[in-house]
Amino acid sequence: MFERVLVSMDLSPATQPLMSVAEALPGLGTRRVILAHVVKPIDPSATGSLARQELARDALEPHAERLREKGMHTVVEVVVGSPGTEIVRLARREDPSVILMGSRSRTALREAFLGSTTWEVLRRAHRPVLIYRIEEHDARETPEIQTPGRPKRVIYPTDFSDTAERALHWVEGLAGLGVESFTLVHVLPSEDIEAEKTATERLEGLGERLREAGAREVEIEISVGSPADEILAREGRSSQTMVVMGSHGHGFLPEMVMGSEARQVARRAISPLLIVPAEETE
């Protein structure tokens, strides 16, 4: 599932906490890593751009060596251009299983901030995007990620759409990797006894699939309200939780690149978040 990971590195102070996630990737079965950095084209000369690319490669190489020491085949890719566009382009060329990105936030802006590069990649990527929130409580402090590595608990929100089914494939993969605890969530728009009964039956069927994949604990929850709010209320229960969800659900216009509920969760989630696109190409 996570065999090949493309890690988007911006060489800011957030590089080190994101590296802590990359170093823990063997716990997810990762064997190959592409450390990618995009140099913005602010120098009009070809010589200047090449020099900045070489500086970026030199900065990334020690990180790559650390990953190699942990048994992962690691390469460094440095290109020039717009970060979001180039990361998506690299992903199509390198064809990773997952794109790993950090999303920086300050406490006061946590609910309203998602970096422009991360947002563009989320909108356009053909592969799942794994986002780790990098906390910056104080500009004088070193940014941090609290829980790198394999999660202890996974929240899987589903509306039973095709995209949610694709996300379930990744949830099953996490069960196979040793994650033991799962919470399956379905949110109804209003109180409806029959709809709740149907949803319960469908969630129980999904729970059986996860148990067959290796899950030990499967919890089923049905609620009424805003899907994004209900998901976010649950992800805050544990510091070692990952949310896995599809980028679209029912009722979204075809031309929309990303559903509104997934967008809200991506903007506000504190826990690691894996968003699976509506269509993945092999």
Between 13-27, 143-157, 220-234, 260-274, the lowest mean confidence (pLDDT) is in 143-157
Say yes or no to pLDDT of 212 above 90: yes
Query: The domain containing residue 168 runs over which residues?
Result: 153-276
18 plus 116 within the same structural domain: yes
In a domain, 142, yes or no: no
What is the mean predicted confidence (pLDDT) over 76-104?
A: 93
* Structural domains counted in the chain: 2
Neighbour count for residue 253 (Cβ, 10 Å)? 7
* This prediction's pTM: 0.87
125 plus 217 within the same structural domain: no
Of 32, 269, 265, 6, the closest CA to residue 126 belongs to: 6
Look at 145 and 16; give whichever has higher pLDDT.
16
Say yes or no to pLDDT of 282 above 50: no
Residue 73 is given by DSSP the state E
168 plus 266 within the same structural domain: yes
Q: Are 133 and 22 in contact (CB under 8 A)?
A: no
Q: Are 231 and 141 in contact (CB under 8 A)?
A: no
Q: What is the pLDDT of residue 147?
A: 55
111 plus 14 within the same structural domain: yes
Strand order through the sheet with 32-39: 73-80, 32-39, 4-8, 98-105, 129-135, 273-276, 241-246, 153-157, 181-188, 217-224
Residue 81 is given by DSSP the state S
Say yes or no to pLDDT of 149 above 90: no
Q: What is the pLDDT of residue 256?
A: 38
pLDDT category of residue 137 using cuts at 50, 70 and 90: very low
CATH code, 47: 3.40.50.620
pLDDT tens per residue, range 103-120: 765 444 444 446 778 888
Tokens read off for 151? 């999660």
Q: Which of 107, 135, 163 is the last residue of a domain?
A: 135
In a domain, 184, yes or no: yes
